[in-house]
Amino acid sequence: MAHDSVTTIDSGPHKVSRRVTVDAPAADVFALIANPHRHPELDGSGTVRDTPVKGPDLLTEGARFSVGMKQYGVPYTITSRVTAFEDGKLVEWRHPLGHRWRWELSPTSPTTTEVTETFDYSTIPVPKVIELLGYQKKNGAGIESTLRALAARYS
């Protein structure tokens, strides 16, 4: 049985990681994460808008996709590029400002999967800016909400 409790993971400096176990095979969870058209279903932060997504139905390394976003009442579009991909296990994309969003899946049984989401801002020129603006805390809360909703989706 999966847990809706989200665990904080130490992934190193300038990275915010959380993990949850979901009652679903890794392939099912990966199909949701690796399809950018489904990201509005996945988002727990409230920033991904339910607008048409531009990009492939299945992400692959090097693929680009655009998603409508909204923060502080301001809508905008972000085009990201996939920087790491391992079918069924890992997908990571780079935001235009340089930070990365990473999803890692690890089956714990044929019907349960450990899911780790990471906001990695170690890749931007001045990571301290993220901290001064409080985005590491805001994104940590968004990740927790996303992972709780993901666990609930399959429970």
| DSSP assignment of 11-75 | --TTEEEEEEEESS-HHHHHHHHT-GGGHHHH--SS-B-SS--BS-SS--TT-EEEEEEEETTEE
Q: What is the pLDDT of residue 2?
A: 52
pTM for this structure?
A: 0.93
Q: State the pLDDT confidence band at 44, using cuts at 50, 70 and 90.
A: confident
Question: Which domain, by its residues, includes 110?
Answer: 3-153
Provide the number of structural domains found in the chain: 1
Tokens representing residue 48 in the block: 């991904």
- Whether 1 has a pLDDT exceeding 70, the answer reads no
Among residues 97, 99, 85, 108, which one has the least CA distance to residue 36?
85
Using DSSP's 3-state secondary structure scheme, residue 4 falls into strand
pLDDT tens-place string over residues 103-118: 999 999 999 999 999 9
Report the pLDDT averaged over residues 55-75. 94
**CATH number of the structural domain spanning residue 130:** 3.30.530.20
